[in-house]
């Protein structure tokens, strides 16, 4: 158990109260740095700060070799200065730690606009030039760096794939710490220095991320060193944590499992010594924790748990540190006014232009860069060598480390389906067995992330190979809970999905399984990850990563234990807003198709794959070989449910999703039974993107292939798993697109019977059949009686479920029969179900 360092506290107090004006007497602070090293670190820091200011302001005259004039300034001043000096300070001290200890350190910038820092520090260490050879390490390259920042055709003001020392999209706050832990899992020798901005610390994802320490196993994982950067303000107001006392912060983070060490003040000479001491102590504690755990020891904890207290640093420094203290009598440094561009009127106000020039000259650029604009060797030597440079760390370009998974032959998990609809099964059961063996074959680079729903999602076969991970205390009644578990369960979509992102971004593989409705909690996280991958495609040096595989189950149509709150299929809608280069959406209709799709997704690279398939007992349709063929095509005619004889049908019944597939097949069955002479074609779509034009998506069908499935003029009644507009948008531009009539989720839901859900949303077999008959003038005389009968069935259903609380026998017991005789007995039950287990939701 940690104790707050009293000697360090004394130094902090002295630095907090000290005068910072030139010539003021400073208290002496002992520390690990020599006077010469402090001088070099200070000058290196000045160089990084200078480059950050230059990125925001300068169009020309990069080293101020002539007096600064209006024409040297960018016409639009964009960027964020407020966090830059503090992050530069941290980066340079991490360089010192790496050089002295050989530590393997990954830097993660949490503040939303940390781009200037990472650009500057990568430039000084040479990694920026390594990947952008045109940005040379001389005055010409410096000018190009400045001109490229926040300008058309240039680079953004936040961290992104263009920056070699960045490993995630930094433009949206909240994800740094969860990514840091995802990066540390199974990276035994890695130390992830995660800089958390105090504005970022107010977000829900970041607030939840602190509990990640309860899942970090020091015997097999790396370490995360959170550095909470409290500089006081957001864009216009104070941050919550910056106004909290040290005592409150100590209590808060101690309760979360951390040992916080404070460094605070504004005098750089003292701050260098304090921060170096804190950093050395934290690294020593990390090494001690790992050494003890890897030798078989356990942490000293009052709760008797195996989780240690991990060190962290809380850095208090002024907002906009080292910028002008005031302008026109208004305070700037240490206030919210330093957040973006501290001097915004330099082109209009000559006095402000002079202040900018003085600000930049205070860093003494001509002493930091030689006549040709090269960083002077004595300072350049402070950066680590080769791959120990944080911009060259392979974990920042995880594709360099990625190894393909050793995948079992998914055919061995096939479900026997003697005839279409002859078997009832929970589709994810066999997938769980597949994942079980993937874990066995890949014990160090594959994990399953699931918010307390592995059993509920029918993937519990994985527990034959591993456990749920925890570093907390366990008791005898716990189920498959152990520190070495590879199933990451925590009731937070933010953590599960964010951990997986960090895991993938550093070169590993995994699956995130979630209830469909709650996946939308992380819409913005998936959006940012997609943008990272989209932009990464522009940089060939960014090596391909394993795809982000999202398995959605417990979906809108079958939430038997839940209600309207669990019925929302909109995650796919958000995902499909991303560029077609990176998004793939699949609706496998049964177990064998699910296996085919998932095996393909685990082999894919640089995609977001969204796979939706329910966990409840459903009719199974295709043999393994049929599923293989069907999935390879993306969409196909299901011949067993089709009777058009290869000619143009009277109606096309299309479907995407497991429940819509059952309703579409039942519709075909009803129509063939009750409307003699009707010609029906059933088309199942497993790869939703195949509906799109090839101009809009690589998986899209050309018009000839599309018309071969859907014809060019026959009406199509489409039963879709999600919201109807999505199908209409995908078939836009196809021949006679108005002939597509889509039924799908219409935001009608409650706790009710399975069939009542499709009735409420007007996607039942009876609604579909009525829709079909309304669009077939050839059979109008025969259709009238059938429509009346189908409407009567809907009335019967309404009354029956309210009296018996279950669906009518003809619905519950329906299965496909080729002779169109209504079955009198229940359909076959799945042989998959273990003896004594009851179908249920969590």
pLDDT tier for residue 827 given thresholds of 50, 70 and 90: low
- Confidence at 302, pLDDT banded by 50, 70, 90: very low
Q: Within 13 Å of residue 591, how many CA atoms lie on the same side as its CB?
A: 34
Mean local confidence (pLDDT), 455-481: 94
Q: Read off φ and ψ for residue 573, nearest 5 degrees.
A: -60, -45
- Give tens-digit pLDDT for 377-425: 999 999 999 999 999 999 999 999 999 999 999 999 999 999 999 999 9
pLDDT at position 820, please? Answer: 60
- For domain 47-398, the CATH architecture is 3-Layer(aba) Sandwich (3.40)
- Note the pLDDT of residue 27: 61
Handedness of CA 724, 727, 729, 735 (dihedral sign): negative
CA distance 688 to 698: 12
User: For position 826, what pLDDT does the model report?
Assistant: 58
Do 47-398 and 637-807 show the same overall fold? yes
Res. 23: pLDDT tops 90: no
**507 within 8 A of 402, measured Cβ to Cβ:** yes
Confidence of residue 5 (pLDDT cuts 50, 70, 90): very low
How is residue 523 written in tokens? Answer: 């819409």
Instruction: Report, as an integer, the average pLDDT of 795-803.
Output: 96
- Asked whether the predicted pLDDT for residue 15 surpasses 60, the reply is no
Which of 41-45, 300-304, 402-406, 767-771 has the lowest average pLDDT?
300-304
Collect all residues with Cβ–Cβ distance below 8 Å to 456 and sequence separation of at least 6.
554, 615, 841, 842
pLDDT digits (tens, 9 = 90+) for 239-263: 999 999 999 999 999 999 999 999 9
**What size, in residues, is the chain?**
842
pLDDT higher than threshold 60 for residue 24: no
Query: Which is nearest to 589 in space by CA: 614, 569, 607?
Result: 614
Closest CA to 786 of 687, 680, 667: 667
Structure-token pair, residue 554 = 């417990």
Kindly indicate the confidence band of residue 818, based on its pLDDT and cuts at 50, 70 and 90.
Answer: confident
How high is the pLDDT of residue 14? 38
Q: Higher pLDDT residue, 64 or 831?
A: 64
Q: What is the chain's mean pLDDT, rounded?
A: 91
The predicted pLDDT at position 777 comes to: 76
Categorize the per-residue pLDDT at 298 as very low, low, confident or very high, splitting at 50, 70 and 90. low
2 compared with 231, residue with greater pLDDT: 231
Q: State mean pLDDT over 798-824.
A: 85
Q: For residue 559, is pLDDT > 90?
A: no
What DSSP element (H or E) covers 784?
Answer: helix 780-804
Closest CA to 696 of 731, 664, 672: 731
Those residues whose C-beta lies under 8 Å from the C-beta of residue 582, and which sit 6 or more positions away, are: 530, 533, 534, 537, 606, 607, 608
pLDDT at 828: 58
- Superfamily for the 410-612 domain: Thiamin diphosphate (ThDP)-binding fold, Pyr/PP domains (3.40.50.970)
β-pairing, 258-264 vs 326-327, is: unpaired
pLDDT at 415: 97
pLDDT at 832 over 90: no
Please check whether residue 650 is in contact with residue 714, taking contact to mean a CB–CB distance below 8 angstroms: yes
pLDDT beyond 80 at 781? no
Indicate the helix (H) or strand (E) that contains 728: helix 724-730
The proportion of the chain whose per-residue pLDDT surpasses 90, expressed as a percent, equals: 83
Instruction: Express as a percent the part of the chain with pLDDT over 70.
Output: 93
Q: Where are the domains of the chain?
A: 47-398, 410-612, 637-807
Residues 200-226: pLDDT tens digits? Answer: 999 999 999 999 999 999 999 999 999
Per-residue pLDDT, averaged over 581-603, amounts to: 98
Mean local confidence (pLDDT), 495-521: 96
Report the run of H or E that residue 780 belongs to, with start and end. helix 780-804
The pLDDT of residue 566: 83
The pLDDT confidence band at residue 235, using thresholds 50, 70 and 90, is: confident
What pLDDT is stored for residue 490 in this prediction?
Answer: 94
**What's the pLDDT score for residue 526?**
95
Q: What is the dihedral of CA 635, 546, 441, 516, to 10 degrees?
A: -60
Q: Which CATH architecture has domain 637-807?
A: 3-Layer(aba) Sandwich (3.40)
């Amino acid at each position: 158990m940690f104790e707050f360092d009293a000697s360090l506290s004394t130094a902090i107090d002295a630095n907090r109260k000290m005068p910072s004006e030139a010539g003021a007497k400073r208290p002496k602070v002992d520390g690990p740095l020599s006077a010469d090293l402090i001088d070099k670190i200070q000058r290196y820091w000045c160089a990084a700060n200078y480059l950050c200011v230059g990125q925001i302001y300068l169009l020309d005259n990069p080293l101020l070799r002539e007096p600064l004039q209006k024409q040297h300034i960018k016409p639009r001043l964009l960027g964020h200065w407020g966090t830059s000096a503090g992050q530069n300070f941290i980066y340079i001290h991490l360089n010192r730690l790496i050089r002295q200890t050989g530590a393997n350190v990954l830097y993660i910038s949490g503040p939303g606009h940390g781009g200037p820092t990472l650009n500057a520090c990568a430039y000084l260490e040479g990694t920026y030039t390594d990947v952008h050879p045109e940005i040379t390490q001389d005055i010409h390259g410096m000018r190009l760096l400045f001109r490229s920042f926040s300008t058309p055709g240039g680079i953004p003001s936040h961290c992104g794939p263009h920056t070699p020392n960045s490993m995630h999209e930094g433009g949206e706050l909240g994800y740094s710490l969860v990514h840091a832990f995802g990066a540390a899992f199974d990276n035994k020798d890695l130390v992830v220095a995660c800089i958390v901005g105090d504005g970022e610390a107010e977000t829900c994802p970041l607030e939840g991320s602190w509990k990640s320490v309860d899942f970090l196993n020091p015997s097999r994982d790396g370490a995360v060193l959170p550095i909470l950067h409290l500089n006081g303000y957001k864009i216009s107001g104070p941050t919550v944590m910056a106004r909290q006392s040290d005592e409150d912060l100590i209590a808060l983070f101690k309760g979360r499992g951390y040992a916080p060490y404070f460094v605070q003040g504004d005098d750089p000479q003292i701050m260098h010594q304090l921060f170096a001491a804190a950093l050395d102590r934290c690294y020593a504690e990390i090494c001690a924790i790992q050494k003890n755990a890897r030798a078989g020891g356990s942490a000293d904890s009052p709760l008797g748990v195996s989780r240690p207290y991990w060190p962290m640093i809380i850095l208090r420094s002024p907002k906009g540190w080292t910028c002008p203290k005031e302008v026109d009598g208004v305070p700037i440094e240490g206030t919210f006014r330093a957040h973006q561009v501290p001097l915004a009127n330099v082109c209009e106000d000559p006095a402000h232009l002079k202040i900018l020039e003085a600000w930049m000259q205070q860093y003494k650029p001509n002493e930091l860069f030689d006549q040709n604009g090269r960083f002077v060797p004595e300072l350049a030597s402070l950066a680590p060598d080769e791959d120990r440079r944080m911009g060259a760390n392979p974990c920042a370009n995880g594709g360099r480390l990625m190894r393909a998974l050793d995948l079992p032959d998914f055919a061995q998990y096939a479900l026997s389906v003697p005839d279409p609809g002859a078997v009832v099964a929970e589709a994810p059961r066999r997938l769980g067995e597949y994942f079980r063996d993937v874990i066995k074959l890949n014990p160090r680079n594959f994990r399953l992330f699931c918010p307390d729903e592995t059993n509920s999602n029918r993937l519990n076969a994985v527990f034959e190979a591993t456990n749920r991970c925890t570093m907390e205390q366990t008791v005898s009644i716990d189920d498959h809970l152990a520190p070495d578990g590879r199933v990451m369960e925590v009731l937070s979509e933010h953590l599960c999905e964010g951990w997986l992102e960090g895991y993938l971004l550093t070169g590993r593989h995994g699956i995130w399984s979630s209830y469909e409705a709650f996946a939308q909690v992380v819409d913005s996280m998936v959006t940012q990850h997609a943008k990272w991958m989209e932009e990464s495609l522009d940089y060939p040096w960014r090596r391909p990563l394993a795809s982000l595989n999202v398995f959605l189950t417990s979906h809108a149509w079958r939430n038997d234990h839940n209600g309207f709150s669990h019925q929302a299929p909109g995650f796919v809608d958000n995902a499909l807003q991303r560029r077609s280069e990176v998004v793939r959406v699949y609706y496998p209709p049964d177990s064998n198709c699910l296996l085919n799709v998932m095996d393909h997704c685990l082999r894919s690279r640089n995609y977001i794959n969204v796979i939706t398939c329910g966990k409840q007992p459903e009719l199974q349709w295709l043999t393994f070989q049929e599923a293989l063929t069907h999935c390879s095509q993306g969409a196909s005619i299901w011949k067993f449910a089709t009777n058009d004889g290869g000619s143009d049908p009277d109606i096309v019944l299309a479907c995407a999703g497991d429940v819509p597939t059952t309703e579409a097949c039942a519709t075909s069955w009803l129509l063939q039974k009750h409307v003699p002479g009707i010609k029906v074609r059933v088309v199942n779509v497993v790869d939703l993107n195949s509906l799109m034009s090839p101009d809009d998506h690589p998986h899209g069908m050309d018009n000839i292939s599309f018309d071969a499935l859907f014809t060019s003029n026959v009406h199509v009644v489409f039963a879709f798993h999600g919201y109807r507009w999505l199908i209409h948008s995908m078939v836009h531009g196809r021949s006679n697109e108005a002939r597509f009539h889509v039924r799908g989720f219409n935001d009608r839901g409650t706790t009710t019977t399975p069939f009542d859900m499709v009735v409420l949303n007007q996607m039942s077999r009876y609604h579909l059949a009525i829709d079909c008959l309304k669009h077939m003038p050839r059979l109008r005389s025969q259709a009238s009686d059938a429509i009346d009968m189908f409407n009567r069935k809907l009335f019967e259903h309404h009354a029956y479920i309210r009296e018996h609380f279950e669906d009518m026998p003809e619905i519950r017991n329906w299965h496909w029969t080729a002779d169109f005789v209504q079955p009198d007995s229940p359909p076959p039950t799945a042989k998959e179900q273990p003896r004594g287990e009851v179908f249920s939701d969590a």
